[in-house]
Chains A and B, each alone.
Chain A
């Protein structure tokens, strides 16, 4: 039957990569990702204390940290890149847990821009666009509400970081200043090669060497995550399709949250999971109430990147920050999902925004620019 066979032209131009090879490539890319985090840590250490102080003094203000997190994620179009970088900075001892937590929360807000941009593809068809925009902005609404409640609580009580410290001690079996990560040992060798390349072969030293190591590390993190996502998307596309079809027959709820977690952990990108929901919502195949829990699951699933990044460092604080990311998203779900009245709050906000956007579609671009670029940029400038 025609439907299951690619056309001759397709087959000629795009030969499918066997699954075991793709899986091996993903493992190699994950190693590259850890090497990237290691290079970042090494580069930061090579920068020297003056430059370090100059670079990161601005984020000691929690609101500035939050806005930096938003801006960095919007620009990188990936919260995984941002949170892994933050974990790397904590691993290098440059950022404290208290400074990193608002940045992590900012990354959570920043990542929602991707599916909001995806919803713009339906801009010309108002009925579809209203549904697509609501499905996209329910993620914005949830993250903004969660941050507006949990950030002040964290700043006042430190409840999330305390819980994360407790879990770190539980996982690492002690409260020492350093722990021996087996991954760190494996990563040290290639990190050493890159250090030799920039230092001994090219002849860089001091701050310049540090900058090049940071740039190489960031490039490795970005490339690794991009290609992990691309390969995993191909590897598990059939499973994603099958499980979404099963969800359509059974509705949302906790299983949909779990599904969002599983898909996102597998593809290492919450944007992929949430962006799949956009055309489904626009076509009326998935209701907003059922897309919402998948989005919440994606928020939790994306924290796997920071947890993985923490494996490449020796400092327990890096794992603590990664765990804060997970706990923050779990706490957000506990706040806004079990109680029906609170569960409807992000949905109502998203529906209201979508109604406004469908009526005045020109304001959509303004919403994206102001929420994700102008406000964070002004915040960073004023609060640094």
Chain B
């Protein structure tokens, strides 16, 4: 969460950068401060509910807390136990496959649709809403339940395949396929990165394209040499946000498998396993340690992305 909140203002600034010449500085900055803080007050109050559990979980990660009795300090025992926990490895595997397959596909889909919509269609706002809608719904329990039926043995997908004489697999109950249905669900929710891409594409000055077409550059060439570099900060922002969100997936796996992570642990997301450890096996100390491991994993991936971004992200200012 902290990574998320820190990242947001910076990204907003880069979004605005191509349009504005320079950020304004003046006397108004100081005089507005008190009301600014007042506006932030609810956030500060809310932050207390985040910060207290945050440090509590850091402490509990080094204890054997079981929800019922007083926690005892056990040092690094929880972290050591993780190395010998096959289900933890399984949950990491599930989460990594899910992330590294669905994030690139959903980003590509989001960019593609954004490019199409950016061509100045009539009724743009309607299309935008239609494509954005799934990302509002995708994490909801009802949609995941619906997904179960769509991919069920008698569902639409297998009905469609049956039309061509193909006997579809048991998408939901077969361990080989269960995760793929959730990946499809995640890709389907490309709406929120799409809206951000769309905003970014609108900021690319039209004069660049005019100049390029006078020089005889093809559409593909224009996309590669103008669009991609100029929206690279937005791709970067979307990538980070999608990665973080994807590592923290919980609802989809929980609802799809009825909380078990099944069939045969094939949808055992990291956070789902964490939840099981904490609330069904009552090993809250271990669960807290897992939460901190996830934070470290996310931090490492974000750091790698930031370092790598120097080589491909172009800031036009």
Does A associate with B in a complex?
Answer: no
Q: Which residues of chain A have a CB within 8 Å of any CB of chain B?
A: none
